[in-house]
């Protein structure tokens, strides 16, 4: 990790901030000081299929990190899916044992204080926009390409969440401009067919390569084979990059972000950064269709770092109130306004 001493942005909360990345297999906690320097880092396995166990693991992680660095000023959590503002319950989590649970309320009660929560790809985007690969850009679209496919949007330093808390969720839109053999596509865990996630995630790349060649290989193995001159592996990477370009071009046509930052396991495929801008060109509806695609600065740490930034950038509005509940109330009120 590079040395880091960015001063806190103007008007932001001071003190130590604890960010937690709740993943499907592991939970990572990082305590950041106001300069973004990690004061403590701890990883534990996720109690899979166990809601009570997940809450207990998070409580244990908070106490052990505070035992190491002292009390923190706030806690943020990057989670799969999001808290649906209308019900306060989890939606869209591929860690499906969280879905339908009032996770924000239960977690705040378990740790005895307010907790800020956001989707993991939102936290990734916030971290990279704040002091990472997208720092200084007016708008950043952060993409996670791992076991799933997520996205988050940060505009002028602020996370865009939306009244349904789904802003940036491009992974469950269908692959645009499909060829005949790409339509209607495979069934996704979400119940739809042909979702971007079923074409561009790590498992999707592996499945496509297997279908074409009969070989079971991970994304990184396919990339290594392509580098060693394996033409079939190269062809699989080419199909994957071209589909990813179509999906991202659709996002650009709607949001026109200044910069795209990739994260997740497949962000280590270095050919994506040189090839994607040119592959996107034919589909971007602009006189200048070129857009910069950058690798992440913080990599896997961006989930936890972005969760900590959630506290830094959100604490002014929520000033120690029941953060989750208030957020939901505000968004509910906005929705009612919109209906009037
Ligand atoms: Zn889907």
Neighbours of 52 (CB within 10 A): 11
What pLDDT is recorded for position 94?
Answer: 86
What pLDDT is recorded for position 313?
Answer: 79
Distance 94 CA to ligand 1 centre (A): 10
What pLDDT is recorded for position 287?
Answer: 96
- CB-based neighbours (< 5 A) of ligand 1, an ion: 172, 188, 190, 192, 195
Tell which residue, 111, 137, 114, has the closest CA to residue 125: 137
CA distance to 9, 11, 33, 309, 312, per residue, from 14 (Å): 10, 9, 8, 11, 7
What pLDDT is recorded for position 115?
Answer: 96
Indicate the CATH number for domain 17-119+300-339: 3.30.420.40
Q: Report CA 307 to chain centroid distance, whole Å.
A: 10
Provide the pairing of β-strand 74-79 with 116-119: parallel
Distance 172 CA to ligand 1 centre (A): 4
| Percent of the chain surpassing pLDDT 70 | 89
Question: b/e map of 15-35 (b: 16 or more CB within 10 Å)?
Answer: ebbbbbbbbbeebbbbbbbbe
Under 8 Å CB-to-CB from 63, ≥6 apart: which residues? Answer: none
Distance 149 CA to ligand 1 centre (A): 9
**Cα 195 to Cα 243: distance, rounded to the nearest angstrom:** 11
Which two structure tokens, joined as six digits, stand for 146?
């791992």
Distance 124 CA to ligand 1 centre (A): 20
Tell which residue, 19, 5, 21, has the closest CA to residue 314: 19
- Rg (alpha carbons) of the chain, rounded to whole number: 20
pTM to 2 decimal places: 0.89
Distance 189 CA to ligand 1 centre (A): 6
What pLDDT is recorded for position 13?
Answer: 60
Same fold, 17-119+300-339 and 133-296: yes
Tell which residue, 269, 261, 322, 24, has the closest CA to residue 126: 261
Distance 150 CA to ligand 1 centre (A): 11
Distance 34 CA to ligand 1 centre (A): 38
**Cα 303 to Cα 263: distance, rounded to the nearest angstrom:** 10
Where the chain has pLDDT below 70, the residues are: 1-5, 7, 10-13, 315-340
**The CATH fold of domain 133-296:** Nucleotidyltransferase; domain 5 (3.30.420)
Bridge partners (DSSP) listed for residue 45: 26
**Cα 259 to Cα 291: distance, rounded to the nearest angstrom:** 7
Tell which residue, 243, 244, 235, has the closest CA to residue 213: 235
Helices (H) and strands (E) counted in the chain, each on its own, are 10, 12
Domain ranges of the chain: 17-119+300-339, 133-296
Distance 169 CA to ligand 1 centre (A): 10
């Amino acid at each position: 990790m590079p040395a880091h001493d960015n001063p806190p942005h103007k008007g932001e909360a001071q003190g130590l901030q604890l960010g937690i990345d709740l993943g499907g297999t592991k939970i990572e906690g990082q305590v950041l000081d106001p300069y973004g320097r990690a004061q403590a880092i701890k990883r534990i396995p996720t109690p899979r299929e166990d809601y009570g166990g997940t809450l207990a693991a998070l409580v244990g992680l908070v106490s052990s990190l505070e035992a190491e660095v002292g009390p923190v000023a706030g806690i943020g959590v990057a989670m799969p899916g999001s808290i649906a503002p209308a019900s306060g319950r989890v939606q869209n989590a591929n860690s499906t044992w969280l879905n339908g649970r009032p996770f924000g309320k239960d977690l705040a009660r378990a740790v005895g204080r307010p907790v800020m929560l956001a989707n993991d790809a939102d936290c990734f985007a916030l971290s990279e926009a704040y002091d990472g690969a997208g720092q200084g850009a007016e708008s950043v679209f952060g993409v996670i390409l791992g076991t799933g496919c997520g996205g988050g949007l940060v505009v002028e330093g602020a996370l865009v969440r939306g009244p349904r808390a789904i802003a940036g969720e491009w992974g469950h839109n269908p692959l645009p401009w499909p060829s005949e053999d790409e339509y209607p596509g495979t069934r996704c865990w979400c119940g739809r067919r042909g979702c971007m996630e079923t074409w561009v995630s790590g498992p999707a790349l592996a499945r496509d390569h297997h279908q074409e060649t009969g070989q079971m290989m991970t994304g990184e193995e396919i990339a290594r084979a392509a580098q060693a001159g394996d033409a079939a592996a190269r062809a699989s990477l080419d199909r994957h990059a071209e589909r990813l370009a179509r999906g991202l071009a659709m996002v650009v046509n709607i949001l026109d972000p200044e910069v795209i930052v990739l994260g997740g396991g497949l962000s280590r495929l270095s050919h994506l950064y040189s090839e994607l801008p040119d592959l996107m060109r034919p589909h971007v509806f602009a006189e200048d269709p070129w857009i910069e695609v950058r690798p992440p600065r913080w990599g896997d740490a961006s989930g936890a770092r972005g969760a900590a930034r959630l506290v830094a950038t959100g604490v002014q509005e929520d000033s120690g109130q029941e953060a989750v509940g208030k957020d939901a109330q505000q968004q509910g009120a906005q929705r009612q306004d919109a209906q009037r």
